[in-house]
Amino acid sequence: MKSTLFLILLLIPIILSSNQSSSLSGYIKDASTGETLIGATVYVKGTRHGAYTNKAGFYTIRGIPEGEYTLNVSMVGYKKLEEKLVLKTAQTKRIDRKLTPSVLQTDEVLVIAERQADKKEIVISRTNVPVRQLKQLRFGGEADLFRALQFLPGVLTSSMISNGLYIRGGSPDQNLVLLDGATVYNPSHLFGFFSTFNTEALKDVELLKGGFNAEYGGRLSSVINITQKDGNREYYQGTASLGLVSAKASVEGPVGNGSFFVSGRRTYFDLITKMMEEDPANPFPDYYFYDFNAKITQDIGENDKIFLSGFASADKLNYQTFGIDMSLNIANLAGSLRWTHIFDEHLFSTFLVSASKYNNGMFINTGYEATIDNYILDYTAKYNLEWFASDKLTAKFGVEYNNYKFSYDQDFTNGENSDGGQESEGGITNFDVIDHHISSFAQANYELTSDLNIQAGLRASNFREAGKTVFDPRLALRYQLGENYALKAAWGIYHQNLKLASLPDFSFFDTWLGTDSSLNLGKAIHYILSLEVNLAQEYEINLDVYYKELSNINELNRYASRIETAADVLYEGRGESMGLEILLQKKYGDFTGWLGYSLGFINAQLDSVNDGKWYSPKYDRRHDFKVVANYRLNNTWEFGSSFVYQSGQGYTPMNSRSQGFMPGYTYGRGKLVPGSRYSLKMPSTHYLNINANYSFEMFGRPSKLILDVYNVYSRRDIWFRIYVANEDLDTYVNDIKLLPIIPTISWEIAF
């Protein structure tokens, strides 16, 4: 209590010192659609005052002395806006402005404003990839968010076709994926090949690879914060596309005092195979996926906005062959209601309620029936405040409540009835858990000097089922070394309650579990040092060095037959990751893209794995080099390419073989004896993708033909390596290879 009172007394003169100064606040919007813009920079020329617009498109600048100024508003891909401004003593002005889209943006003010705005909140290891660039990265004709993120340094996968992101040594379940504030638990289609997010529905994508602030909790490694489009407030419009993999369409326009946006995507492999002649001995699998996005935005007066968002996706597979009947259903359903309110130019609030459900179900009949059904249901409520106390002090506060229900039902009784319960009986498992989490956070950013900022935060969380309350402090510093150089550092403690039971090679039946008293909460400590350099008006480079200490990490127990607690499913251990990353990025102009390199080391130790010895996980790739380039030749032609080179993934070799014989038989069954876990490496991975876009008019509407070539020189990477022991005492090594060259063509039309 005394320390809190001391802090308040310390802040009073800081706040009062700005009472005689003026302030600006407002929304920045797209002039063509009326959508608010995230990350636009507002800068008072000739001063050190500037700000970013937040996730709602709102900004506040305080502490401006009276006088005449020039106000600059800018953002990548938009024409710079400049206007004269006269401020009187202690004047408060509301300035909402609209920016006009532009292909070229080369004004130096963008760099200056970003440098000033970055002082309001220190964010380290953040990458914002413009959605326009994301749409140019196509795979099998599809623009895909997670595949685009894989082209950033420090973001690894277990294979070329995997969509699971291993960020700085963390497993995919350690990534917090948010869509308009709602958590998405399974962001993959086609067993991991595509993500569930249709890029046509996306407005902003922010990746925080580590050191994220106290606003975010519940994950150990990273945050992927995705914002859907609000919709066009000015007029109705839509797009439709047809490709070899899927068809998709979107419609948006004004409604009420705001806008709406709706989009959908579906594959049609199942429809095509029904029209083809089928070989009874080799039937086609009946498979398709779809996803659906919707959002409605409404203004309620000048200071209040309501956002209602919805998202649904599903994968459905049915396959019958050789007397085997199998079906698989995987689905996501998420929705959120967000209300933003401006109390005044000092205080901005966000209230959000969301619901998210992920479920998967599998049925197999080989003459013996087996079923598995699993889901996680998440109800969440959040309330956050942003306080712009003065030109030197900003703060954030928030509370969050989560209600979870985990369910896992397994029936291996061939359809015979028996009584189940929390424990396994007679081949039936019914595992249901309800859990509650309550957390709160506080964070403050203070400008110590004109070149040095400090940001400190604390997140407190209570996990009922685990019976634990934890405190996660976070600390960040930013020092302006020179006009174009900034040094950042971050340290923080992170805890995670949710666990994912999955295999690194396959992602078709991932099971989420909560931490009960049988397991410890996952814990990570991040140490990060970052250097940011503006090389020129259009180029920026980031160099990050990091170390991550991991405790109570988990791995699936593949041989679990009886499930009573979470510890029956998951092994527990520790780990560490360390490395450096370099990213050179050009965000605007005719030529855009990035070049990235990372050097990383990942180690893990679990008492029940690899005889308790330390090992490097499968996804540990020492060197990771990536290039993405897009070039706009003119209004008709655009070209893109991407290249990856990575050290090979790990695999476990077989060191020896034993052979057992039954009396009177000359053959027996061989048993392979594995060596150290993932102790050998596959050949290096490298592949090239190219695409070309041709824009034209069809039926009087803008259209586009897109040619995409995946894996141009058709180098088939090894998915995994298996050893086969036959009856003749021979042992074979078989490599299961991935996809060859895949050319695709698709057509898009706007209406």
Helices (H), 566-686: none
Q: Which residues contact 727 (CB under 8 A, 6 or more apart)?
A: 667, 668, 670
> CB–CB of 335/354 below 8 Å?
yes
Output the pLDDT for position 62.
84
How large is the average pLDDT for residues 135-156?
79
How large is the average pLDDT for residues 527-532?
95
Provide the 3-class DSSP secondary structure of residue 464. coil
Q: How far is CA 305 from CA 23, 180, 285, in A?
A: 22, 14, 46
Token readout for 577 is 């990751």
What are the backbone angles phi and psi of residue 599, rounded to the nearest 5°?
-120, 120
What are the backbone angles phi and psi of residue 444, rounded to the nearest 5°?
-135, 145
Give residue-wise pLDDT tens across range 22-36.
888 899 999 989 999
In this prediction, residue 436 has a pLDDT band, given cuts at 50, 70 and 90, of: very high
Strands (E) across 322-427 are located at 324-344, 347-365, 369-387, 393-411, 424-425
Give residue-wise pLDDT tens across range 34-51.
999 988 889 888 788 888
For 19-112, give the CATH class.
mainly beta
How large is the average pLDDT for residues 663-679?
73
Token readout for 536 is 């020129």
Residue 559 clears pLDDT 90, i.e. is over it? no
> CB–CB of 293/262 below 8 Å?
yes
> CB–CB of 250/200 below 8 Å?
yes
Any idea which fold 126-225 has? Answer: Ferric Hydroxamate Uptake Protein; Chain A, domain 1 (2.170.130)
- With a pLDDT cut of 90, the percent of the chain lying above it is 36
Q: How far is CA 639 from CA 242, 271, 690, in A?
A: 20, 32, 8
Output the pLDDT for position 471.
96
Q: Taking the alpha carbons of 141, 146, 147, 149 in that order, is the dihedral positive or negative?
A: positive
Q: Which residues contact 468 (CB under 8 A, 6 or more apart)?
A: 462, 521
- Same CATH fold, 226-380+387-750 and 126-225? no
How far apart (Å, rounded) are the C-alpha atoms in residues 550 and 361? Answer: 32
Output the pLDDT for position 241.
87
Output the pLDDT for position 106.
42
Question: Domain 226-380+387-750 belongs to what architecture?
Answer: Beta Barrel (2.40)
How large is the average pLDDT for residues 509-526?
83
Longest CA pairwise span in the chain (Å): 104
Q: What is the CA radius of gyration of the chain?
A: 27
Output the pLDDT for position 670.
66
Residue 441 clears pLDDT 60, i.e. is over it? yes
Provide the 3-class DSSP secondary structure of residue 610. helix
Output the pLDDT for position 465.
86
pTM: 0.87
Q: Which of 69-83, 114-128, 535-549, 578-592 is predicted with the least confidence, judged by mean pLDDT?
A: 114-128
Token readout for 600 is 């990383």
Output the pLDDT for position 9.
42
In this prediction, residue 10 has a pLDDT band, given cuts at 50, 70 and 90, of: very low
Minimal CA–CA distance to 357: which of 319, 391, 406, 285?
Answer: 406
In this prediction, residue 7 has a pLDDT band, given cuts at 50, 70 and 90, of: very low
Residue 117 clears pLDDT 60, i.e. is over it? no
Token readout for 246 is 């899927």
Q: How far is CA 395 from CA 215, 333, 398, 454, 502, in A?
A: 11, 33, 10, 12, 39
Output the pLDDT for position 658.
74
Q: Which residues contact 507 (CB under 8 A, 6 or more apart)?
A: 162, 163, 164, 172, 188, 191, 192
Provide the 3-class DSSP secondary structure of residue 172. helix
Output the pLDDT for position 377.
93
Neighbouring CB atoms inside 10 A of 302's CB total 11
Identity of the residue numbered 422: Q
Token readout for 692 is 């070309």
Residue 442 clears pLDDT 60, i.e. is over it? yes
How far apart (Å, rounded) are the C-alpha atoms in residues 488 and 543? Answer: 10
Residue 536 clears pLDDT 80, i.e. is over it? no
**Arithmetic mean of pLDDT over the chain:** 83
Residue 105 clears pLDDT 60, i.e. is over it? no
Token readout for 229 is 């489009």
What is the separation, in whole angstroms, between the first and last Cα of the chain? 62
How large is the average pLDDT for residues 86-97?
87
Output the pLDDT for position 11.
47
Residue 490 clears pLDDT 90, i.e. is over it? yes
In this prediction, residue 176 has a pLDDT band, given cuts at 50, 70 and 90, of: very high
Give domain limits for the chain. 19-112, 126-225, 226-380+387-750
Residue 491 clears pLDDT 90, i.e. is over it? yes
Identity of the residue numbered 440: S
In this prediction, residue 108 has a pLDDT band, given cuts at 50, 70 and 90, of: very low
Q: Which of 344-353, 394-403, 422-431 is predicted with the least confidence, judged by mean pLDDT?
A: 422-431
In this prediction, residue 437 has a pLDDT band, given cuts at 50, 70 and 90, of: very high
Give residue-wise pLDDT tens across range 247-261.
889 999 999 999 999
- Read out DSSP for 89-131? TT-EEE--EEE-B-S----THHHHHHHHHTTTS---SEEE--H
Compute the C-alpha angle 128/134/138, nearest 5°: 150
In this prediction, residue 739 has a pLDDT band, given cuts at 50, 70 and 90, of: confident
Neighbouring CB atoms inside 10 A of 535's CB total 11
In this prediction, residue 422 has a pLDDT band, given cuts at 50, 70 and 90, of: very low
Residues, the chain, total? Answer: 751
Output the pLDDT for position 274.
65
Residue 344 clears pLDDT 90, i.e. is over it? no
What are the backbone angles phi and psi of residue 28, rounded to the nearest 5°?
-110, 130
Residue 497 clears pLDDT 60, i.e. is over it? yes
Token readout for 102 is 């532009």
Token readout for 333 is 């359903």
How far apart (Å, rounded) are the C-alpha atoms in residues 604 and 625? Answer: 24
